A and B are shown apart, each in its own frame.
Chain A
Amino acid sequence: MKAVSPKKSIFYFLEHISGENDMWELTFPRTVAIGEGALDYLKAVEGKRVLIVTDKVIHKLDFVEKVTNYLKEAGMEVKFFDEVEPEPSMETIVKGAEFAKKYGPDWFIGLGGGSCMDAAKAIWVIYERPDMEVAAINPLEKLGLRKKARLICIPTTSGTGSDATWATIITDVKDERKMELSSREIVADISILDPELPKSMPPKVVADTALDALTHAIESYVSQWRNDFSDVLAIGAIQMIFKYLPRAYKNPEDKEAKEKMHNAATMAGMSFGNSQAGIVHATGHSLGAIFHIPHGRTMALFLPYSIEYSARDAMGRYADIARAIGIEAKTDKEAVEKLVEAVKKLNREVGEPASLKELGISRKDFEKRLDDLAMRAANSTCTFMNPRVPDLEDTKKIFIYAYEGKKVDF
């Protein structure tokens, strides 16, 4: 493969996009309001009753009053369901749907990070379809939503992309399993990206959520289901994250960096939402469900190992990413090695752990749960969209290498 100089324009990537030719369908939010003052969009929303789905921490923040006032200005009654926990459970969804049933909203607002938006999506489904079980939300069935209500997502973190995707991750606590539920119908009608909101994020959350967004974009670009649209959004998001994350992490007052990160997260969401994630999500969901580690941190941790494992079957795609962020290399292999280093460097720069050991999981606990971790990851829907699909044995090895912090060599 001949060397390609870095920093080519986006048109370079347009010439190199591959992807499937089979029929496929793309789904995006109908409206995305962006930029300073984007929350003003709420003043123009028409309806009677809004249910804001959020958590207790967000509920106390200053901007919530602004959101409430704007909605009241639009002539709407506002109520809150603020019982969403990190990694929302099925029980919370059922409770939220009960609350909604009594209140009768015609709008739901998912306000917060991924957990709040995911919960809002699932509560909305059960509110409209009380005959359904949470675990049965799936993309093959017509849900028939929007007969009673519609959905607005307002992310307050910059990573999840849930405001732009048709996925909702709900935890089955009893089974220690994150359920990757999805339906095209649950994509938000409106996504509001106001750069004011992520300002309150502490640096650790900035890092965790941003690495989640980076993972979305990278996994999307190499996904078996990638397409022309997801490619362009992915590359754009990757370039923005590498450029602005260190600034947003180091300087909470850097408005430009925070705004770019906020937009990049939704771009990455639009991208992977239409092409799917891969084994970083499969392994990360499994680890998160069993050891209760924040989602973004698990993404940051598994990303380099995943690139090392998957590159065998997607060398050119990862090399594209490397070159898009300015890495110079004579061969694709060299480009990919440098990409792994760049991801590790970025992880270090924003304080992410490099191994499961460093994350504080004891060897005893890890070994005890290794089979469960591997089995859950191997059964994840994300596994099958990865460019190289690991079997159970390889999945187990990925966990072991990630525990030790070893370079993947199989």
Chain B
Amino acid sequence: MVLYLTKEWMEEYRKRLNQNKEYKEAGKGWGVGWNGDFIFQIENIPIDKISLKDLPADVAKALKEYVINGTAYSYIRLKDGECLEARPIKDPKEVQVGFIQKGPYENWKKITRGELDPTRALLARQFTLQGDMAKVMRYTRAANLMAKISATIKTEFPDEVYPKK
């Protein structure tokens, strides 16, 4: 089990994207000659409902560091069907990306559990996506696979595993 919102989770996600042959094929050409990198902006994280003292010290420290005003940012570098880097970042201005996907923590959880169709969620405004839409439309399969692959990670959510009593 990997704890969501941690760098370990992001690293596991990167590995799984790169191990997936179908994603490699579907993402071929993505970000070649243009910026295909993403920021996932996770909002309304119930940090006040997480018992930080019960978390492993390094995880608690990281959460304090990366969740600012209930929002966390994940940086995903994608190019030509490969994930070059995936890590939490403190400030979205640290990096330059082509796309920013924003949504509340509860919806990200549903995506990670495979309970929410990512395309439908975008259309129903449960997420917003900024960036060159014409490019995204051409890579629907890769985008759907990204969500599907995240759902293969056995994930624990800090507010569920370490709730404040």
Contacts and interface: CB of A to CB of B under 8 A. Distances in A.
Contacts of A136: 132-134
A382 B144 CA distance: 12
Nearest to A135: B134
A24 B120 contact: yes
A72 to B, nearest CB: 39
B109 to A, nearest CB: 14
Q: Is the interface of B mostly helix, strand, loop or mixed?
A: helix
B22 A392 contact: yes
B3 to A, nearest CB: 26
Contacts, number: 58
B149 interface: no
A22 B124 contact: yes
A347 interface: no
A140 B123 contact: yes
Given A378-B26, A383-B141, A133 B134 contact: yes
Contacts of B138: 379
Q: Is the interface of A mostly helix, strand, loop or mixed?
A: loop
From B124, B132, B141, residue with most partner A Cβ within 10 Å: B141
Nearest to A378: B141
Contacts of A22: 116-117, 120-121, 124, 126
B140 A380 contact: yes
B124 A24 contact: yes
Contacts of B22: 391-392
Contacts of B117: 22, 224-225, 384
A184 to B, nearest CB: 9
A138 B124 contact: no
B116 A179 contact: no
Interface of B: 22, 25-26, 116-117, 119-124, 126, 128-129, 132-134, 136-141, 144
24 contacts: A22-B117, A22-B126, A24-B120, A24-B124, A133-B134, A135-B134, A136-B132, A138-B133, A138-B137, A139-B123, A140-B122, A140-B123, A140-B129, A140-B133, A179-B137, A180-B137, A225-B117, A225-B120, A378-B141, A379-B26, A381-B119, A383-B140, A384-B119, A384-B141
* Chain A to chain B: the 6 pairs with minimum beta-carbon distance, closest first: A138-B133, A136-B134, A135-B134, A381-B140, A379-B141, A23-B124
